Amino acid sequence: MKLQRTLLLSVAVAASLMAGVNFEHAPKAQRVMPEAGKILSFNQAIEHASKCVVNISASRKVKQNIPPSFMDPFFRQFFDMPYGRMMPRERVQRSLGSGVIVTEDGYIITNNHVVDGADEVKVTVPGDQKEYKAKIVGTDPKTDIAVIKIEGKKFPAIKMGDSDSLKTGDLVFAIGNPFGVGESVSQGIISALGKDSVGINQYENFIQTDAAINPGNSGGALVDSRGVLIGINSAIITRSGASNGIGFAIPVNMAQRVATQLIEHGRVDYGYLGVSISDLTPDLRKVYDHKEGAVVVNVEKDTPAAKAGLKRGDLIVKVDDTPIHDASDLKNTIGALPPGKKVRLSIERNRKTKVVEVKLGRFPDSELKAEGGDKGVVDGLTLQNLDKQIRNRLGIPDDIEGVLVSGVKEDSEAAKAGFMPGDIIIQIEDMMIKNVGDVEKAMKRYSGKKRVYINRRGMIRILVVD
C-alpha cells in the first residue's frame, strides 16, 4: 500500500512538472513510397557535367640526390646496375588528377598541386579515345588553382554556378577520377560554407562536403543537383588516406576569378594592405564596441596601410560596404581586389569609428627564382617563404624561421655551392632571414664571399657563396 502511494505521488509530481513546459511538436508526417514503376535518379541532371570532367596525367622528372662520396670508385662498385649501367640520377614521377572543361575551345580548370612542376601533362576526355597533350596556361599556388589547355573545338563545357548562393544542406555530387579507376560520381550534401584556417591554401574559403573525395578526385567538379559547377574538389581531411566524410572544394566564384586572370595575364595579382592581423578573442571583444572584425597587430613600413595611417590596434570592420567578420575574411576580401584600387576601410580606434581611404598595392611575390648572378640571389636557386601551407605540407615547426629552398638548378652556382631542395636559409652573414626579400637585401649588403647558414633536416650547416 505504501509502495502504491509512493508511485502515485511520483507520477503526480512528474505530471505537474511537465504541465509547465510547452514543447513545440512537429505535425505528424505521412510516409510515402516513390511512384510505382519509377526510379529516383539524378542521371540526367549530371549527365552533361560528367562529360566535362577529364582525367589528367602529369609527369615530372625528379633528381636523385647521390652524395658525392658515392661517386668514389670504391663505392661505385656497390651501386652499379646490371651490364655496367650506373644507378640513374633522375626518375620520372607520375600523378593522376582530374580537371573541368570550362570553355568549348579547351580551357580546363584543375588544382595547382595536380600539375605543379610537371614536365608533361596529358588529358583524356570522356567518350574520346584520343589522348591530348596539354599546355599549362598558368598556376596559382595561393588558391591551388591552375589552368591548362588542350587543342580542339567544340569540347563539352560545364555550366558555371554561383557559389555565393549556396546553402548548408544543399545536395551535391563530386565528379572525378579517384584512384585512376575512371569516371566516378559520389553524392553528399554541403556540410559547411566559408571554411578557412584549414592550413591548405593561403587564400581559403572552402565549401565543406561529405561527398566522397578520394585521391585522383583533386581538380574535379563539385556540382549541384542541376549538374551546375559550384566548386573545384581540392582536398580531404583524413588519417587513412581515403575519404572520411570531410572534403573541401574551392568555390566556383573564386576559381572563375583566378582562372580568368591566368588566361588573360598568365598570373594572378592580389590586393595588398601590408598589415598583420588577428581575430577578435573573447578578451579583445571587451575592449572594442564592435564584436566582429580583424585586429591590426602590425603595420609594415612603406606599405599602403602605413601610407593610409593605419595603426596597431585598429579594428577593421568594413571594406567599402562589405562587413569583415574575422582575419580570414579581411584577407580574402582584400586579396580579391585588384592592385591600385582605392577602398574605404571602416575602422574602430579608441572606441571611435572612422573611415580611411587606402590605395591597394600588389601582393609581394612569395617565390623568388634566380637564373643569373645579377638577380640579387645565388644563381639557380628557387626560394619560397615559409607560409602556413608549406609548413603543414612539409612538417616544418613554427619555431623555425627562414626561407625554403624549393628548387636547385642542375650545374648552377647554387648546386656547386651545395644547396639542396628542402634546405631552409636561416641567416646570411650577420643578417637573420625571414622572407625572400631578406635574401636579396643580404646578398646586396655583403660583398665578396658570404656565409649562408642553412637548416637541413634539423642540422645547421654553412655554405659559402659569392
Per-residue pLDDT tens digits of the chain, which is 466 residues long: 555 555 555 555 555 555 578 888 888 888 888 787 788 888 888 999 999 999 998 887 655 554 444 444 444 444 444 433 444 455 656 668 899 999 999 999 999 888 887 888 999 898 888 889 999 999 888 888 999 999 988 899 999 999 889 999 999 999 987 666 678 888 999 998 877 766 666 677 788 988 888 777 788 999 999 999 999 998 766 555 555 668 888 999 999 999 999 999 888 888 889 888 888 888 888 888 998 998 988 888 888 999 989 988 899 999 998 899 888 888 888 888 888 999 999 999 988 999 999 999 887 766 666 655 445 678 888 888 887 767 877 778 888 889 999 888 888 888 888 998 889 999 998 899 988 888 888 888 888 888 899 998 888 888 988 8
Grid coordinates belonging to 99: 580537371
Q: Which of 95, 98, 113, 379 is catalytic?
A: 113
- For residue 12, the cross-strand partners are none
Domain formed by 367-465, architecture? Roll (2.30)
φ/ψ of residue 308, rounded to 5: -85, -5
Is 265 among the residues known to form the active site?
no
Which ranges in the chain are annotated with CATH 2.30.42.10?
271-362, 367-465
The domain defined by 43-65+86-267 carries CATH number 2.40.10.120: yes
- Of the residues 95, 163, 184, 218, only one is catalytic, namely 218
What are the cell numbers at 176? 572525378
Where does 51-170 show beta strands of DSSP type E?
A: 53-63, 90-101, 107-111, 120-124, 131-140, 145-149
CA distance 406 to 386: 11
Give the span between the Cα atoms of 138 and 133, in whole angstroms.
16
144 in catalytic set: yes
Answer whether 426's CB lies under 8 Å from 435's CB: no
Please confirm, yes or no, whether 113 is among the known catalytic residues: yes
Beta-strand ranges (E) seen in 350-402 are 352-359, 361-362, 367-369, 381-385
User: What separation, in Å, do the N-terminal and C-terminal C-alpha atoms of the chain show?
Assistant: 102
User: Grid coordinates representing 237?
Assistant: 581531411
- Which of 50, 57, 95, 144 is flagged as catalytic? 144
pTM equals 0.69
Q: Where does the chain hold its CATH 2.40.10.120 domain(s)?
A: 43-65+86-267
The CATH architecture one would assign to domain 271-362 is Roll (2.30)
